[in-house]
Structure 1
Amino acid sequence: MSAEIIEIFPSNLDERKLRHVVDCLKNGGIIIYPTDTVYSMGCDIFNTKAVEKLSKIKGIKLQHNNFSIVCHDLSNISTYAKVSNNIFRLLKRALPGPFTFILPATGDLPKTLQTKRKTIGIRIPDHEIPLKIIEMLGNPIITTSVKDDVDDMLEYPNEIEVIYQQNSEKVDIIIDGGWCGIEPSTVVLAVDDDFEVIREGVGDLSQFL
């Protein structure tokens, strides 16, 4: 069954459509949604079958997944990651924004996302659609970038037609939220009070240090 395309725009958040997306997530669905960087694919972090399905879609073993999660706000982060005072000050300056922070995981993280690395990537994108979905769902969702399976020149597609063509049989809902970027988030390793950029992306960390 092909994915359903739903138009939702940050300037006009249709709560009925958002509720439909949230119900899909609660029932184990996989969605594609816009962020402040690129379109992402995700599911409810507490739905084990959905996380397993997402792992298969991405071609990775569940126990080796490196999925990050999208939280609604800073207080949400502290439930799933250990945050020192120094790191918290940085997060407060940089988020919401185009960063993924790799932090030590807490025991409240679902078992499916607890790996030998004992860390978790955390995002709070500066985009109303995923933040509203998470607020309505009541817990974080997974974020993993949607990549172009065909075009070697454009790693991250931002046209819904292309995204649909390549993913319509993989996911349940594709949210058309308008144009997204083609460059991913900046990934920052923050397991202690030293910060290391391990992937350059949209975000410029230097302005917050």
Structure 2
Amino acid sequence: MSSLFDCRDEAQLLPGMRQARQAIGRGELVVLPTDTVYGVAADAFSASAVQRLLDAKGRGRQSPPPVLVAGITTLRALVAEVPEPVERLVEAFWPGGLTIVLPSQPSLSWDLGETHGTVAVRMPAHRIALELLEETGPLAVSSANLTGHAAAIRAWEAKDMLGDSVSVYLDGGPSDTGIASTIVDATSLVGGTDPLVRVLREGAVDRARLREVLGDLLEPDPDRDQVGADGAA
């Protein structure tokens, strides 16, 4: 049976965080608020927990979950290298709605799915998420919804979809924006012959802001000619 804690109530916050931490330690799933949308989390270093996350969402191993971290120190431990342009992205947009894909640290013993040697990493800008990450370490986190459904922006929406497949629900109130993170692929900056950052999904951080930081290292906007022609935003 799942437990739901209203973390806006200090009397529920501490027991909720304690049960969430214990659930992660047992390889179970936790739903938590972030600055973008609600996420469903599992121990990133437990292959069975990650598989449980994928099964709960109805998602295959070909769609590995991103990893949330508490800061850049953990990022450095998870990836093979943090190129200077990525340092700039982190400084500009972390904590916040930017997920960065880089080659993973080859010495790590984990199984997130079919990652092809990469990992997608983000530091969320949400107190509850960060406090849990400080206690548990990196978490594999995907949006708290069934695959093909809209991402949950309230804890009860996640519970309606995921039910008892999740052990603990941490309710932090409605999501601030309800806009999923932007995902960029920076893998070619590590040993690539044509270094370029590609936008895999547009979300909380728009291309204009990315270009302010990256300049010509950001791929050309594929919609720029169309927008110029019809005036659409």
TM-score range, shorter chain: 0.7 to 0.9
Aligned pairs for 1:65-80 within 5 A: 65-80=63-78
The change in CA–CA distance for 1:66 and 1:116 in structure 2 (over 3 A counts) is closer
1:108, distance to aligned residue in structure 2 (A): 4.2
- Partner AA of 2:206 in structure 1: D
Counterpart contact for 1:101–1:122, Cα < 8 Å: yes
1:13, distance to aligned residue in structure 2 (A): 9.1
Aligned pairs for 1:21-100 within 5 A: 21-62=20-61, 64-81=62-79, 82-100=81-99
The change in CA–CA distance for 1:66 and 1:49 in structure 2 (over 3 A counts) is closer
Q: Which moved more, 1:68-77 or 1:43-52?
A: 43-52
Q: Which residue of 2 aligns with 1:141?
A: 139
Deviations 1:138-196 (A, max 9, x none): x100110123679x7xx223233332222112211111111113321111111115222
The change in CA–CA distance for 1:109 and 1:144 in structure 2 (over 3 A counts) is farther
Q: Which residue of 2 aligns with 1:159?
A: 154
Counterpart contact for 2:70–2:138, Cα < 8 Å: yes
1:72, distance to aligned residue in structure 2 (A): 0.5
Partners of 2:114 and 2:151 in 1: CA distance: 26
Q: Which residue of 2 aligns with 1:129?
A: 128
- Partner AA of 2:19 in structure 1: H
1:113 correspondence with 2:112: yes
Q: Which residue of 1 aligns with 2:182?
A: 186
Q: Which runs of 5+ in 1 are unaligned?
A: none
The change in CA–CA distance for 1:90 and 1:145 in structure 2 (over 3 A counts) is same
- Partner AA of 1:133 in structure 2: L
Which consecutive aligned stretches of 4+ in structure 1 deviate over 3 angstroms post-superposition? 9-16
Counterpart contact for 1:94–1:205, Cα < 8 Å: no
The change in CA–CA distance for 1:24 and 1:187 in structure 2 (over 3 A counts) is same
1:94, distance to aligned residue in structure 2 (A): 1.4
Q: Which residue of 1 aligns with 2:217?
A: none
Q: Looking at both structures, which has the greater relative contact order when contacts are Cα pairs under 8 Å and sequence separation is at least 6?
A: 1
Counterpart contact for 1:102–1:119, Cα < 8 Å: yes
The change in CA–CA distance for 1:186 and 1:149 in structure 2 (over 3 A counts) is closer
Partners of 1:91 and 1:10 in 2: CA distance: 32
The change in CA–CA distance for 1:86 and 1:13 in structure 2 (over 3 A counts) is farther
Counterpart contact for 2:33–2:128, Cα < 8 Å: yes
Counterpart contact for 2:99–2:120, Cα < 8 Å: yes
Q: Which residue of 1 aligns with 2:203?
A: 201
Counterpart contact for 2:104–2:118, Cα < 8 Å: yes
The change in CA–CA distance for 1:103 and 1:9 in structure 2 (over 3 A counts) is farther
Counterpart contact for 1:101–1:188, Cα < 8 Å: yes
Q: Which moved more, 1:19-28 or 1:103-112?
A: 103-112
Partners of 1:126 and 1:13 in 2: CA distance: 21
Alpha carbon RMSD of aligned pairs, Å? Answer: 2.4
- Partner AA of 1:190 in structure 2: A
Partners of 1:189 and 1:55 in 2: CA distance: 22
Q: Percent identity?
A: 24
- Partner AA of 1:73 in structure 2: G
Q: Which residue of 1 aligns with 2:220?
A: none
1:202, distance to aligned residue in structure 2 (A): 1.3
User: Structure 1-normalised TM-score?
Assistant: 0.86
Larger radius of gyration: 2
